[in-house]
Amino acid sequence: MGFILPTSLQIWLSLAIPLLIFLVAVWLSGRRGIRMAVSRFEARLAGASVPVVAGLVSAAVTLVVWGSLHEPGVIHDEQAYVVQSEIFASFEWSGPTPPVPPFFEQPHVFVEPHVAAKYPPGHSLALVPGIWLGLPGLMPAVLAGLSGGLIFTIVRRLFDPSLALMVWALWSTSNATLFWQASYLSQTTSSALWLAAIWLLERWRREGRTHQLVSIAAALGWLYLTRPLTALALAIPIGIVVLGRTGSRRQWTQLAAAAVVALPIFGLQFVWQARTTGDWLTSPYTEYSRQYFPFVRPGFGADPTPPSREVPPEIAWTGDGFKHLHAAHQVSALPATLLERMIALGLALGGTRTLLILLAVWGAMRARGPLLFGVVSAAIDVIAHLVYAHPSFWVCYYFEIFPVFFLSAGYGLTLVGRQALGLDAVRCRAAVLLAVALASPWLAVEVAQAKRERDRWSEFHRTAARTLASIPDPAAVVFVRYPVGHEHHQSLIVNAPDYRSARLWVVYDRGAGNDRLLEATDRPAYRLWTEGWRLERLR
């Protein structure tokens, strides 16, 4: 997902209109009748069921933007996660090697000596319940709801209900949030785990119960199985808090109990590695890079080592687009890289709400207590990802810290109300709630924009799915022919957990070389021309 630089007029409007909305809300909050009604509404936000409602709304908004629970994976990474989840759903670690593997090679997926994704197993395992129910998009929607409910709960507990509603509303309707949330990317799982760990940490900090610390360890362990670098980044601030508290309370048995639970979860990664690569200490991610893209690895500069296997041109095309990024990713360039990524993150999250960027910076600069913990955690996450080269606009790497941005912005707005406008605490909370109500049409427009962007992004794969569904045969092989100049980021080559039971083998079209695969099967054969979406029966 890229971003379009706003015009000067758009910048001024996105600064002036939200500010005007807040000033109107401040004026309305001074009216006795409105203030009393808002106070009653704020009291209702303290109800036990409100986080559940917030979560359900977040899940519903995500589903509206996505379109259905049967959406095809669009990004290569999504497709790889879904393939692995389907394999796990069949109670296997990997799938059998398909006949003539070069026809089936899929980005981020091994096809020899078996079919398996290169990514850690945590997210694919989380998708399994939806696969079992025939609703692959179910768990991302559920996780979106869990994240939304946790955001509301955490902010309400640490601050107040009015700020909780604002932060939740901004996060749930953000174009950037919805674009990545409505997908099969692992960030849907890691975000929920990140928030769960924070929520559990706050409860443990206040109550000090063993099961709470054990649950924190379990959340961090599964986060490591999902996005290891993100887990390590969060483990640093949490570890500082936990070690400080357990040391002062002499609760060493709690640490031991947490370790007993966490170690088997961490150990699952080594089992996964052994099952996938044959070596307990070699990660599938590293092995895939060695075979296909040696330059794709944490660190600085591009590894000139050639791939260990012949890479199909379609996959090579995809990887070549990132080679220059790794070559340019040098220690000397880190300050510029950090600045570019922070600007891209601000533009993605600010979007048509430019005022939020200024408020977030102001709120972060004045942060203390829980917000300071969030800002520090976000900073560690951003710094940790400096070891990896990626396009600056690919902000999904920081999806877990999106709520910190909106919390900082909301806190910055309360500072404006209290310090610049001289509002007391009660009236400031009322103004915040009224601002959310007045801004709701704007938030709805952003959701509609996110849906249009997701529809545009998904159209190629949706059309392909409809075309492939029209094949009448119970089983067939389909050779995909792309037009000259096709962007191979849009790939239809996706493996099944077991090629033998798969209805369709969707494979590369190698012209006269197709006979190699046709000789290995008696399936009916088609050629799919993606330019014009025409199916040609070959036999």
Question: Does 523 fall in a domain?
Answer: yes
Helix (H) or strand (E) holding 53: helix 50-66
- Please state, in angstroms and rounded to a whole number, the distance separating the CA atoms of residues 162 and 431: 9
Question: Does 505 fall in a domain?
Answer: yes
CB 382 within 8 A of CB 398: yes
Question: Does 276 fall in a domain?
Answer: no
Question: Does 199 fall in a domain?
Answer: no
| The model's pTM | 0.94
pLDDT of residue 18: 87
Question: Does 512 fall in a domain?
Answer: yes
Residue with tokens 């040391």: 247
pLDDT of residue 297: 86
- Please state, in angstroms and rounded to a whole number, the distance separating the CA atoms of residues 513 and 181: 40
Give me the amino acid identity at 479: F
pLDDT of residue 2: 47
Assigned token pair, 239: 């570890």
pLDDT of residue 188: 97
Domain encompassing residue 510: 76-117+471-537
Divide the 539 residues of the chain into consecutive groups of 10 and give the mean pLDDT of each group.
60 83 92 86 93 98 96 95 98 96 96 96 98 97 98 97 97 95 97 98 94 96 97 96 88 92 94 94 94 89 88 85 86 95 92 88 95 97 95 93 97 95 93 94 93 94 96 97 89 95 96 95 96 94
Assigned token pair, 94: 């990997």
Give me the amino acid identity at 499: Y
Question: Does 490 fall in a domain?
Answer: yes
In sequence order, which residues have a C-beta less than 8 Å from that of residue 324 and are 6 or more positions away? 302
Question: Does 386 fall in a domain?
Answer: no
pLDDT of residue 249: 82
Question: Does 419 fall in a domain?
Answer: no
pLDDT of residue 248: 82
How many structural domains are present in the chain? 1
Instruction: Compute φ and ψ for 159, nearest 5 degrees.
Output: -125, -100
Give which of 404, 394, 405 is closest to 355, Cα–Cα: 405
